[in-house]
Amino acid sequence: MEYKKLLEETGAILHGHFLLSSGLHSDSYVQCAKIFKYPWYAEDLGYELSVKISKYGPDCVVSPAIGGIIIGYEVARHLNVPFLFAERDDDGVIKFRREFDPSNFKNIVVVEDVITTGKSTNEVIDLVEESRSRVICTSAIVNRGSIDQIRGMPVISLISLPLVSYTREECPLCKKGIPLVRPGTRKIKENMS
């Protein structure tokens, strides 16, 4: 499967002028929900990731909600292991709810849709380690950070799409006067239509 083509064809790569959560600006943004609109693609991508992950012998998949849930579930399904997700509370702190308990598992893989700085993955690793369990590798469909390790663990991905980002001062898109949008807001939908 040509993954990058799939991202383009499903509209998962948005082109424009985006304000990232880091405060930096970028000309592209990846929204995997656009691929997951087609369950067969989610299944294929989950399978492809599970093939790459299986050699680490994971016994559980953990994903951060919401972005990681669909792909994490698909990876777990192909690996035939349980799946848990962690979610942010109103204060933005990531936690396990619903009596999800990773402490019964010893070889956990963290699966996300997109990995950029690895912030969410790091938060999930902290959470798993607090429960005296262990993460053995991390994974995402798209790696935007050109990072191949997080805390000494491999980052397994299907697509490498290094993020080009700028500070506001040096941003060429600002200089051209292109409206800045925050991904996930209505503004993007307006731009897409």
Question: How far apart are CB 14 and Zn ion at their closest, in Å?
Answer: 15
Question: How far apart are CB 183 and Zn ion at their closest, in Å?
Answer: 13
- List residues binding Zn ion (CB under 5 A): 25, 171, 173-174
- 């239509």: which residue's tokens? 193
92 backbone φψ class: left, alpha, beta (φ>0; ψ -120 to 50): left
Which residue number has the CB closest to Zn ion?
171
Question: How far apart are CB 176 and Zn ion at their closest, in Å?
Answer: 9
Pick the closer one to Zn ion by CB: 35 or 181: 181
Residue 185: which residues within 8 A CB-CB, separation 6 or more?
none
Closest listed residue to residue 120, CA positions, set 63, 174, 75: 63
Pick the closer one to Zn ion by CB: 65 or 180: 180
Question: How far apart are CB 181 and Zn ion at their closest, in Å?
Answer: 10
Structure tokens at 60: 């559980």
Pick the closer one to Zn ion by CB: 57 or 184: 184
Pick the closer one to Zn ion by CB: 84 or 163: 163
CA distance 104 to 176: 54
Question: How far apart are CB 22 and Zn ion at their closest, in Å?
Answer: 13
Residue 88 CA to its chain's centroid (Å): 15
Pick the closer one to Zn ion by CB: 136 or 173: 173
Residue 62: which residues within 8 A CB-CB, separation 6 or more?
72, 83, 84, 85, 86, 102, 108, 109, 110, 111, 124, 128, 135
